[in-house]
Amino acid sequence: MRQLSEIWTYPVKSLGGIALTEAKVEPRGLQYDRRWMLVDETGRFVSQREIPAMALLGTAIEPPYLTVFWKNDPLEKIRIPLDVPENELEKLRVEVWSDRCAAQVLPDDINNWFSDNLKGYLRLVHMPGSTRRWADGRYAPKGQHVSFADGYPFLLIGQASLDDLNRRLAQPLPMNRFRPNFVFTGGQAFEEDTWGEFQISDIQFRCVKPCARCIIPTTDQETGARAAEPLKTLATFRQVEHKILFGQNVVWLGEGEAIVKTGDSVKNAILTKKG
């Protein structure tokens, strides 16, 4: 029996995530997921790749605000409105990998907080509802769009896959190293590699592409320290054409909104057909 065991949203790209017991599914990802992003002076995104200390900033949804805080000093925080008026903020074309899309720049007091705390010139931007950043049509169905996530709306990992990796490591690692949206229990290690369409409860999703991992999984999400693992070990059995693969990029095949909850059944379409 496969079940949805964890749901995670990451409101600000590359900052700490929020564990949820239920979440609203939207076409570009979970509600609030990576709808905010830090950019440099050119408008290009920054992440833990360049600034490992971003891992040390936690996030919380506290309507009507998104709160960002230092994990080791929660009173050092900034509050950001969840409802961002589309026509009241400066517009900026921002860059996420090879994509450019329209965003809104948050006010100076917010930008200064991030710049001061992360020791560099940074601006926080928000993706308005009118922005369309298209998922890669080589893999995703036509018309799929995405937030400021690297490439696709959702990331799925089986708990059995992490368990298999941890058996090969001297020091087991938590799932947060891999920043998934959905984690499921049950089934075999890496079986998600073979999935096409699948369901969480009765909601239809599709795995479209394995996730090629960058340096971020080597960053301890509680300390910001980096080490060789888990990429060193993953490279010994999960490397394909010079890319280290762990997890599956996913799109939602529905429209409008849907709700997923921890404990929901997870059914691979192939397994369902077999009964």
Structural domain boundaries in the chain: 3-28+136-273, 34-126
DSSP 8-state code for residue 10? -
Residue 175 · residue 184 · CB < 8 Å: no
Q: Convert 156-220 into a string of H (helix), E (strand) and C (coil).
A: EEEHHHHHHHHHHCCCCCCHHHCCCCEEEECCCCCHHHHCCEEEECCEEEEEEEEEECCCHHHEC
CA nearest 102: which of 29, 37, 32, 186?
37
Task: Specify the fold of 3-28+136-273.
Answer: M1 Pyruvate Kinase; Domain 3 (2.40.33)
Helix, strand, coil share (%) of the chain residues, nearest 5: 15, 40, 45
Alpha helix segments (H runs only) across the chain? 108-118, 159-168, 231-237, 269-273
Task: Write down the pTM of the prediction.
Answer: 0.96
Q: What is the pLDDT along the chain (275 residues), one digit of tens a residue?
A: 999 999 999 999 999 999 999 999 999 999 999 999 999 999 999 999 999 999 999 999 999 999 999 999 999 999 999 998 888 899 999 999 999 999 999 999 999 999 999 999 999 999 999 999 999 999 999 999 999 999 999 999 999 999 999 999 999 999 999 999 999 999 999 999 999 999 999 999 999 999 999 999 999 999 999 999 999 999 999 999 999 999 999 999 998 889 999 999 999 866 544 33
